[in-house]
């Protein structure tokens, strides 16, 4: 009974959510597009000509927003390169190179390297979140693991002057995650866009400028090597 009440409350909130209505009106696949939009407008992350990698890109609303920012004035193609990776399938987005698979696997990384053609990314985005078990310690460990993967990916594929934006949650190992970001990036900022629901502990971390290995703490080296 309680579960049914929760589902009904969620459905009511979702249907009446102004960002859900706006996403439907403006053609975005999910309301999450407005979280990236707010962060981008305040932090000036996305600019034409950039190489941008979107980790966990399905269903594609972040990719849709990114494409609109990279599109030329006349809308004919984009200025820059967009690459999306996800283990789940995704409906195509114009001008986005979509690679389905686990980005820890060599086959997927080979496809990524082919698209990058020797270039590094200006921006890595991650809206990834774990499947929740309801066990706080387990969920925190899963969230931290996803952040570790995004950081390690950035160590290999991000320009030294680039930026990493990730989703995390204040009730899931947040303090440790912030420390990891500070170990790897010269500047770290916490961002809570208005499009994040008030009830949610969701928050975004933005790291800019990868630290040189000599600036990192001992033991802060990446675990996987593509």
Query: Which residues, listed in sequence order, are joined to residue 70 by a DSSP beta bridge?
Result: none
The question of whether 167 is a catalytic residue gets the answer yes
Q: Is 168 helix (H, G, I), strand (E, B) or coil?
A: strand
Pick the catalytic residue from 120, 167, 186, 189.
167
Q: pTM above the 0.85 mark?
A: yes
- pLDDT for 219 equals 57
86 annotated as ligand-binding = yes
Q: Give mean pLDDT in consecutive 10-residue pieces for the chain, a chain of 226 residues.
A: 52 72 94 97 96 97 96 76 97 96 95 97 95 88 94 97 96 93 97 90 96 72 46
Topology, domain 31-215: Rossmann fold (3.40.50)
pLDDT score of 207: 98
> Please, what sign has the CA dihedral across residues 17, 19, 23, 28?
negative
Judge whether 60 is annotated as a binding position.
yes
171 is in an annotated binding site: no
What residues does each domain of the chain span?
A: 31-215
């Amino acid at each position: 009974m309680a579960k049914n009440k929760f589902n009904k409350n969620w459905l009511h909130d979702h249907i009446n959510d102004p960002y859900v209505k706006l996403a439907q009106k403006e053609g975005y696949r999910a309301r999450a597009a407005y979280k990236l939009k707010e962060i981008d407008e305040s932090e000036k992350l996305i600019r034409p000509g950039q190489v941008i990698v979107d980790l966990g890109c399905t269903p594609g609303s972040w990719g849709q927003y990114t494409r609109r920012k990279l599109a030329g004035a006349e809308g004919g193609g984009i200025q820059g390169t967009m690459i999306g990776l996800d283990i789940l399938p995704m409906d195509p987005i114009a001008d986005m190179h979509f690679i389905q698979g686990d980005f820890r696997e060599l086959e997927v990384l080979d496809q990524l390297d082919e698209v990058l053609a020797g270039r590094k990314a200006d921006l890595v985005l991650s809206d990834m979140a774990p499947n929740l078990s309801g066990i706080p310690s387990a969920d925190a460990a899963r969230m931290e693991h996803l952040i570790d993967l995004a950081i390690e990916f950035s160590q290999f594929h991000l320009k030294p002057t680039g930026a990493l934006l990730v989703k995390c949650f204040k009730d899931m190992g947040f303090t440790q995650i912030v420390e990891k970001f500070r170990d790897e990036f010269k500047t770290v900022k916490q961002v809570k866009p208005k499009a994040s629901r008030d009830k949610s502990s969701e928050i975004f971390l933005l790291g800019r400028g990868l630290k040189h290995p000599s600036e990192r703490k001992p033991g802060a080296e990446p675990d996987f090597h593509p």
